[in-house]
Every structure is written in C-alpha cells, then in structure tokens.
Structure 1
Amino acid sequence: MRTWNLAKIEQAFAEAAVDPARWVDALEIAATETDSFGALILPVSGGGPVPGLPYTGSMSRVAEVYFRDKWSARDTRYLGAGHMQYNGVVDDLDIMDVDAMRRHPYYQDFLAPFGLQWFAGIGMMAGNDIWCLSLQRTTASGPFSAEQKRDLAGLSARLSSSVALARALGHGRAAGALAAFELCGTAVVLLNSYGEVFRANQCAERLFGDEIKIVQKRLVSRSTAATAALDRALRDLVWRHDSSGLAAPVLLPRGQYRPVLACPVRLSSFASNILSDCDFALVLIDSEKRSRPVEAQLQALFGLTSAEAKLAARIADGSALADAASELGIAKETSRSQLKSVFRKTGTHRQAELVALLMPIIGQLNSELPIV
C-alpha cells in the first residue's frame, strides 16, 4: 500500500478556497491521493445536497443519477453525520454492517450499477456550517482501513481552515455585489443555494412592506398566488441541470401601486464558490419607476456592458446580428465578440435562446401587462 500525500490535498483545498475555479482540480487530487474512484463535496448542515456541487469527472454520471432519481433525498450515509462531526471521519461500516448494505436499496439500486460500494466522509466545519468531502471507492477496492481513517480524521481540521477561508471570501464578494447593485440603483436580494434569502440591499429594502416582505428566509407577497409562483420559479432555477441563468419573471402585486417584477437569476460568478452563501439573486424591478431605458435594465439584470445591452435588446427585438451591428455602427467582428459575452453572462448558447429569454422581460418593461 502506497503512502498518501495528504499535504498535497491540503494545499489543493487552500488554493481552491482562494480561486473557486480550482475546486474540481482539488477533488481530483483528493481522489488520486486516497486511491479513490472519485470525490465530491456535499453539505451536511442546511437543506441537504442540491445540483451544482463539485465532483470529479469520474462521478459525472453518478451525480446525474443521484439528483435525477432523487437519491439525494434518500442518501442513507447522512445518518453518519453526527459520527463524522465528532470523529472527523465516517465510513459505511460506522453506519451499518455488510449484511445490511447487501439489502439496502441505496447500495444495491443506486451504487452497485456503477460498481461503487465504499466511501469515507471527511468533516469540514466552519462555525455552524458543516461540509463533507466524500471519497468514493469501488466494490473491488474495498473499504478504507482503520489506519487510513485515522489519517483522514487528521485531515479534517486542516480542510476546515480552507472552508472557513472560502466562506469569508464569499461573504466579502457578496457585500461587494450588494454595493455595486446599490450604486447603480438596482434592488436585489441575494439567495443561497436553497433559494433562501441571504442578504438584501437598501434599494430592495425600500420596496418591502406589508405587500412584499421576507418571512423565514423567503421573499413573500401578500398574494399567495404570487408567492407560490415565485417559489416555483426559484425551485426551477435551483434544481435546473443546465446552465441557464434566469427563471421566469414573477409579478408581485402591491395594492394601489404598480407591481414589482421579480427576476430570479443564477449568479455564475458566485456559483463556482460552492462554500459561499450567495448563489442566486432576485433582481426587483419597480414598475413605478420606469424612467430607465430597457438597455439600462438589462445591464443591471445580467451585468452587461452598455454596448452589450444595446446589442442584446436589438437581437431580442428580432434583428439579425448583421443588421444590429449596422444600426449600432460597429464592425461585424465586434458584434460577434459582444454577442459571445452576452451568451456567457445570460447563460444562453444561441440567438434563439437569447430571444426566448429576453422577450418576456423586455415586454414587461415596456408594458403594464403581466407576464403569465
């Protein structure tokens, strides 16, 4: 049995805490150094696992089935969370014996078709937040030995430092995002990976009152139908497996005032930091104040530049790219470059998708008719 280089895992996690784009690389290193088939990070505190969590390439199909077939809601390994929190590590044999595993649907119906059976979960704690580095092994590889589990338990405290750093940086970026939205006069509510309210800026708070308010980490309307529609839109965005960045806008009635348009958005720049509280946002558009042109609203909603917003508005209006470029007085190559940037920021991949995304938003901004 070769000697593990756990310091290499610790270093990889420290680098990923600073640069979230490196989380998958860190997991690949963790899997390789512990002789595992694959690795992923799962939340233990909070509402359980949701799509968008990082995993190694070898776990792609496993993760797809895990969420698609709702095994995430039936993950019996979560029964070992208390053991992991107390000891730093947990494995299958801390939860049940081999005979029970042979009869359990999680092992036989979910893991067995992939040739998987064994795991070790390393606890990573930061305050009240608990995460698990889940190392997956095949049936043929066998369980982790007692000595290996002792080594992994020692790694728990060191990885927890990386978790604390990642979360601190995430809080800082969220504060910066709120300030940026406030500066451009855009009301925004930041949401965590479960669609729960994390923070709101002052522009958003000025829209709150009896008609629209935050209750138990949810933005709710006095209209139960509007609240239900918003919950559905957020749930769709949270559990969507593609990279689309926007859910259907929802109108929140305000009695004698014109309604607020709530636009749920996936914050792609934050989503890569899986330990951050900030994954989504609700951009709130006050239809009482519609002096800002459509282009300015698109800038605020998607983080577009002024030039990108002008191009996106024309594409959404049905103009061909060449015609839009001519109208805006820009070169074809410039328009292609700007369109690629618009695709990236809106989570779309072709002009038809962009039109389908923007048309209802622009229509609402230009009309008092509700989106249904």
Structure 2
Amino acid sequence: MSGTRTAAAKRAVLKTGRPRAAEPLKLETIDQLLGAIYEGPTESPPWQTAMLRIREVLAAAHVTLMLRPPSSDSTGVMINTGPTTAQNVESYETHFFAADPFVRLAEGDVFSAEELIGPQWLQSQYYHDFLEPIGVRHLLGADIYTKDGIECRFRITRSADAGPFSTDDKSLIKLLLPHLKRSIQLHARLDFLECERSLFAGTVNRMLLGMLSFDANGNIVETNQEARRILAEKDGIWLSGNNLCIESSQESRDLQRMLRGALAGTNDSEGPGVVEAMAVTRPSGRAKLGILVRAIPLGRWSESKQRPAVAVFLRDPEANAAQPSQELVRRLFGLTRMEAQLALLLTEGLTLDEAAEKMNVRRNTARTHLRSIFCKTGVTRQTMLVRLLLNSVLSLG
C-alpha cells in the first residue's frame, strides 16, 4: 500500500513539479520569500537569496533575473541561480538573446512557453540550440517595467523530469511580481545614491580633504583615504579604536569639547549644524593640521543611531595634490602646451625665473608666454593667475 502511494506521489511530482496532494504554501514560506525579495537590494549579487528560495519552492532548475536584458550594444546584467557555465551565459548574452521569444511580455502576467508560442515551441531554434542542450524543457516567464524606464525579465526553468509548471506555481509568481518590482525600484534608488556618494567622496579625496564621520554613540562610521593617510603618520594626531587622540593635552581637550558639542547639536533638526575649528600641533615641526568639526543634524524622519552624526575634516597644508595634466589646463583656458606647462609651474610656487629654468627656455621667452596667458585668461598679475587656476575645476580632475 505504501509503495503504491509513493509511486503515485512520484507521478504527481512529474506532472506538476510539486506533489499534487501537498498543502498550499504556508504563510511562513511566503513571508520568507517576501522578506528575501525586500532584502535583495542590500545583497551582492542582489536578490541572490530570493532567487534561491524561489528555485527551492518551485523545484526549478534555474531562476534568473535579468536586471538589464542583453542587447546588440550590451551583454546586460543577469542574476542566475542553478547549474550553468560561463560559456552558456556568454552564448545567451552574445547570440541567443536575439532568438528569445519571451520579449515585451504584458506586465503582471506569467506565461509558460506553450501558452506564449504554442506546440511549435519545441521546434524553435531557441529551444533546440540553447535550452535543450542544457537540459531545460519547461520555461516560465514574466516581465517587469517601471516608470523610470527599467525593464527586467524574470525566468524560471525545469527539466523534462521535473514536470510542467502548475497553475499554483504561476499564481505564486504572480503574487511575488509586484513586490519584486518595488524592490527593484528601491535598488535603483539606492544605486543612484551610491553613485552620487562615490562621486562626492572621490571629489573630496582629490581635494586632499580628510574626513571621518561618527555616529550618535561616538563610533566611527567611515574614514576616507586622505584621513587615513594623515592619521597613519601619527604626527600630532592618530586614531585609537574609535578615539581621535592628540599629542597636546590642551588641544586634545579642545577637540573632545568640540566633538561633544557637535554630538549634542545633532538633535537640532532645524539648524545648519554646529561648526567649530582648531589647529593641531605636529611634533615633527611641520605646519599645523587644520581640523573642522561639523554636526550633521537628524533628518526629519531619521531613526537610526548608526547614521553619521558628526563629520570631522582634516587638512594637511603641506600635502601635495596630484598635478593636473597639461592637456586639461590647455583645454580649459585655451593655452598652448608651453603656456600650460608654465601656468602649472607657477601654481607650484615657482618664480618666473625658476619656471623658465625648469622649462629650459630663456626668461624673455617665459615672459612672452606669461603675457599670452594673461591675455587668454583675463588676469593681469601672476598672483591672480595662480588664484584662478587653484579655484578652477582643475582640482576636481
């Protein structure tokens, strides 16, 4: 008797993919799927956990999310779960995407290959040349579109042994699609913010401005490259755990007072934020470091205590910024290559005579170049030229 039930159960699995007598999915399982979908934007690759859970629940061979479908101009971006090879992925991205019949599906609908194409599906080139060799027989697809122009493709496969997708399987995917769409929109927003953050962080680094941020509990959230360089020198200031340590006792007390005041100022969401500054003596005798402490007020809807609450900026007046390229200077101000070279040497603090010697030209030649630079830039003195170059966008390059 039990052997008969086992055989019947196996036949049901082959026909529907899951045992026909199985109970409907528990709320706990659906909750886990939804949770994985909304946590997806924070993963790398995104939605990897959600794809694996869906694959397990549907007894699928592959679950694939094409965040950016391949095209003739791009290989696209795909998150894939299931047995595959780099060669299979490459063959789809470079060739078979053009033969994929699942294109521009109506949003919210879930289709099997037979529903979309009919019995001739198994005679198609896409099936014979791409899917059949990798053991795929059944294909389920849905597309997601957003008002921002995002187009994603969601695909689920099974082998011939696993059986076709059931009505319940399609209903589950249809239930998950709106949530996946919202999660994709959240991911796009987070990606935009990360791009913006990276741009500004890179600009701050190029300007040789060190920055540390502290949360409301006084723990360090982030430090940038220039801050790490300054602190690593341990010349008057260094980092010990989450504490900024200063050699001078009085300067150390001043900094701690500033940090406490800034942390207290973060609770004022209306004001511009507490700003204080001080100088730090360096035992090496080098020029003093500049420190600026700025409170970052809570946003109207802020609730996390691990968000940046205070920013500490460090400036080393003796740091050597990367020299802008002569080509950049030439294009920005319409100078010749010799004029651009002279202008850069002057911004380094060289006199006209020193610059002429370094360029291996006569002083009169350098003076002629300087007059031409004045004419093209609209300045009349060397100090004005240096100020113009230092305040231009060159430092951002």
- The interval holding the TM-score normalised by the smaller chain is 0.3 to 0.5
> For the pair shown, which has the larger CA radius of gyration, 1 or 2?
2
- Between 1 and 2, higher relative CO (CA 8 Å, sep ≥ 6) is seen in 1
TM-score computed with the length of structure 2 as normaliser: 0.42
TM-score computed with the length of structure 1 as normaliser: 0.45
